[in-house]
Amino acid sequence: MARTQVAIIGAGPSGLLLSQLLDLAGIDNVVLERRTRQYVESRIRAGVLEQGTADLLTRAGVDARMKREGIVHDHIGLAFGEREERIDLTAHTGASVIIYGQTEIQHDLFEARAARGGTIVFEAEDVTPLDFDTAAPRVTYRKDGLTHTLDCDVIAGCDGYHGVCRASVPESALKTYELVYPFGWLGVLADPPPVSPHAVTYVSNDRGFALCSMRSMSRSRYYIQCALEDDVAQWSDAAFWDELRRRLPSSLAEPLVTGASIEKSIAPLRSFVAEPMRFGALFLAGDSAHIVPPTGAKGLNLAAADVRVLADALAQFYGEKDSAGLAAYSDRCLRRVWRAERFSWQLTMLTHKFSDDDFNRRMQVAELDYLTSSEAGAKSVAENYTGVALEAAEG
């Protein structure tokens, strides 16, 4: 039987970032991960970082490569019909975003934990949080055919939407809210240079939504709205590029450079929130507690915000013997979460095709026209996209 102060379930970005921050604060922790490092590190995710997330990576000492290779962007694009408009993030908020892939962050965090001798147990099977409603919480797991028990003070559930932590909470103690959207995103990662100088351009078209997203000066990620029942195998590279061109304004369609896909997948879209985010000694963070559609680029940033609040609360608890931060954790996080859900929902409803109703389409175009031509409208988008409006929610 082993003991640690904080048992962290899940070695994704939120789990490793929490582990690093706790270690720097002198708080002992162990990370349990059911997959291999290679599997976790190879997952391709988005990489639009709010300044608050970048600052947290700096605090964790994992910002060197981000500062060298990350691309700072101070504007985003909104396109509809033949119009391609720009919203200046910095002019409206004084903030910007950084393009740096989640895969790179994952690698940086693994390297940082290894350099500090952090304990990460990979291929931990049947991980189970137990007795988190008592003064003696513990986690059991199997490794190499043997069952292990890890005693701890706190369990951090950073194991994602399908993880064991939220599933371990009694249904009577949990309230969930969910909206499943009636479409998905077909995404292609490829090495042609970005089609637009904007880091991200959202496209609303009569045929459906599209997104042009920069990963680097030589790598791009493109998405188109598709039916949930679509199969990736039905979409050849040629068919994808042809459909993307149809949805882009000519200012983007004409200079579009295509190429062989490196990765191609279909992702469903949903909004999901679990309340509360604390159950005794069990604290949920990131996707285990909430999911946002990728439209607003909030998933990783929300997870990082949860981790910051939890790391600070644990430092206060162990350093000052003060549990006020832990008691306020759920309320502080959820206020920010719901603001992010609202923005992601708004942007999703505004840019995607839900029906063939002409009136609804006219309302979308009118709203897009307002947001891109009104100072107040553009500022609202900028405040939410950069996270400035969300930071204020934590109080």
Which CATH number fits the domain that encloses residue 60? 3.50.50.60
Candidate list 75, 198, 290, 298, residue with the active-site label: 298
Candidate list 73, 75, 353, 379, residue with the active-site label: 73
- Closest to 204 (Cα-Cα) out of 340, 369, 90: 369
Helices (H), 88-200: 89-93, 102-115, 164-167
Whether 162 sits among the annotated catalytic residues: the reply is no
Q: Is residue 323 part of a domain?
A: yes
Candidate list 141, 181, 202, 329, residue with the active-site label: 202
Q: Is residue 127 part of a domain?
A: yes
- Closest to 138 (Cα-Cα) out of 157, 159, 153: 153
Residue 219: what pLDDT?
86
Q: Which domain holds residue 7?
A: 2-72+98-177+271-349
Residue 183: what pLDDT?
97
Strands 261-275 and 290-291: antiparallel
Q: Is residue 288 part of a domain?
A: yes
Residue 394: what pLDDT?
67
- Domain count for the chain: 1
Whether 294 sits among the annotated catalytic residues: the reply is yes
Residue 269: what pLDDT?
96
Q: Is residue 225 part of a domain?
A: no
Residue 276: what pLDDT?
98
Q: Is residue 43 part of a domain?
A: yes
Q: Is residue 151 part of a domain?
A: yes
Positions of the chain with pLDDT under 50 = none
Q: Is residue 357 part of a domain?
A: no
Candidate list 129, 137, 293, 294, residue with the active-site label: 294
Candidate list 141, 181, 329, 385, residue with the active-site label: 385
Residue 218: what pLDDT?
86
Whole-model pTM? 0.96
For residue 390, the cross-strand partners are none
Residue 332: what pLDDT?
97
Whether 298 sits among the annotated catalytic residues: the reply is yes
State the burial class of residue 88 (Cβ atoms within 10 Å of its Cβ: 0-12, 13-18, 19+): middle
Phi, psi (degrees; rounded to nearest 5) at 390: -80, -35
Q: Is residue 170 part of a domain?
A: yes
Residue 308: what pLDDT?
98
Residue 311: what pLDDT?
98
